[in-house]
Amino acid sequence: MKVVVLEPIHEKALELLKEKHEVSFDEKDLAEAEGVVIRTYTKIDKEFLDKFPRLRFVVRCGVGLENVDEKECKKRGVEVFNSPGSNSNAVAELVMGLMLSHYRGIHDANHSVKKGEWNRNDFLGGELNGKTLGLVGFGNIPRIVARLAKAFGLKVLAHDPFLNDELFEKHDVAKMDLNDLIASSDVVSVHVPLLPETKNLFGEERLGWMKKGSLLINTSRGGIVDETALIQALKSNLGGACLDVFENEPLPAGSALLTAPNLLLTPHIGAMTDKSFKDMCVEAVKKVL
Ligand code: NAD
C-alpha cells in the first residue's frame, strides 16, 4: 500500500513500515495513499477525509486522538491505530521533574549561575515531602505519578468519576470529588482527555478555589486550563503553574503566558524521551503491519 508519513517518526518504525509498504513523505502523494502516519499536529477531519477518499487507515503515533475525527473515520471504514500507554512513564517523570523544578527553582538557578550570579538566598525552595498531590483523571499516566509521588513523601488524592473504588484502593490513593480535591491539594496535576466536558475544566472559578500558594501542572492537553484565567490566578492565589501543553501550539510569539509570574513552560515534551518516542511510533506501526 502507499503510505504517506506526515510528521517525523522514529527510524525503527519507518524501517518496519518500509518493509511492507511504499512510503512517501510528500503531501502531494496523499491523493494516491491508502494510509497516513501522523503524530500530534495533523488534523484528520471530515475535510481531510473528503479530500483523500482512498484512505483506509490512519496511524497516530501517540496516545490522544483529539486530532482525529474517529466517528467520521469509522463511518467511512478508515481504521485508526494509536499506541495507548506507550508514553505514560515519560509523561509521569516529566510531572515529577516539573514539580521539583518549581519548588527548588532549578530552572531559574541555572540561568542565574550562567549570568555570573551566586544568589543562594534567592533560592530558598520548598519540599515535596509532606505535601498533598491531587490527580485529576486517574488513567495510565497519573497512576505512575502516584507511585513516584509517594516515594517522595507526598500524600496522593485522585479524582476520576469513571473508575470504580477498587482501582483507587489498589493504587492506595484517596478518591475524591473534584472540588474537594482542588481545595485540599498543594499540587494539582491534570491528566484528563480534552473533551467538550473537560474544555476549560480549570476556569476562573475552579482556579480561584485552589489553595493559596498551590501549584497547578498541566501535561494533558491545551484548552483544559483556561490560559487567561490562569494568568489572573497566578497574580492572586496560585503559587505557580507548569504547562507542557497549550491552547495554541506552537505558543504564539508575544503570548501573555511568556511574561506571567511563576510559570514554568515546556514545549509539549511529555512524551519526548528516547524510549517513549520509539515505543509510541513502533507500537502504532506494528498494529498496521
Ligand atoms: P488515559 O486514557 O489512560 O486516562 C484518561 C482518564 O481520564 C480515564 O481514566 C478517564 O476516566 C478520565 N476522565 C475522562 N474525563 C474525565 C473527567 N471529566 N474528570 C475526571 N477524569 C476524567 O489517559 P493518560 O494516558 O493517563 O493521558 C492523560 C492525558 O495526557 C491525555 O489528555 C493525553 O492526551 C495526555 N498526554 C500528553 C502527553 C504530552 O506529551 N504532554 C503525552 C501523552 C498523553
Whose alpha carbon is nearest atom 22 of ligand 1? 137
Q: Which of 67, 110, 96 is nearest to 242 (CA)?
A: 96
Q: Is the CB of 65 under 6 A from ligand 1?
A: no
pLDDT for residue 50: 97
Q: Is the CB of 159 under 6 A from ligand 1?
A: yes
pLDDT for residue 65: 92
Q: Which of 185, 179, 180 is nearest to 202 (CA)?
A: 179
pLDDT digits (tens, 9 = 90+) for 101-159: 999 999 999 999 999 999 999 999 999 999 999 999 999 999 999 999 999 999 999 99
pLDDT for residue 139: 97
pLDDT for residue 247: 97
Is 144 in contact with 174 (CB distance < 8 Å)?
no
pLDDT for residue 226: 98
Stated pTM of the model: 0.94
Q: How far is CA 175 from the centre of its chain?
A: 22
In one-letter notation, the amino acid at residue 233 is: A
Name the class of domain 2-86+276-288: alpha beta
User: 72 C-alpha to center of ligand 1: Å?
Assistant: 22
DSSP 154: -
* CATH architecture of residue range(s) 88-265: 3-Layer(aba) Sandwich (3.40)
Q: How far is the C-alpha of 93 from the C-alpha of 88, rounded, in Å?
A: 9
Please list the ranges in the chain whose pLDDT falls under 70: none
Is 179 in contact with 209 (CB distance < 8 Å)?
yes
User: Please, where in the chain does CATH 3.40.50.720 lie?
Assistant: 2-86+276-288, 88-265
User: 270 C-alpha to center of ligand 1: Å?
Assistant: 13
Kindly compute the dihedral angle of the four CA atoms of residues 210, 175, 138, 268, in this order, to the nearest 10 degrees. Answer: 20
pLDDT for residue 56: 97
Is 187 in contact with 131 (CB distance < 8 Å)?
yes
**Which of 141, 144, 179 most suits a substitution to test ligand 1, by most atoms within 8 Å of the C-beta?**
141
pLDDT for residue 34: 97
Q: How far is the C-alpha of 9 from the C-alpha of 3, rounded, in Å?
A: 13
Residue 8: all three cell numbers together: 517525523
pLDDT for residue 160: 98
Q: Which of 251, 261, 266, 254 is nearest to 215 (CA)?
A: 261
Alpha helices in 122-269 (DSSP H): 140-151, 165-170, 178-184, 204-209, 227-234
Q: How far is the C-alpha of 238 from the C-alpha of 216, rounded, in Å?
A: 8
Classify 265 as helix, strand or coil: strand
Site of grid cell 479524582: 159
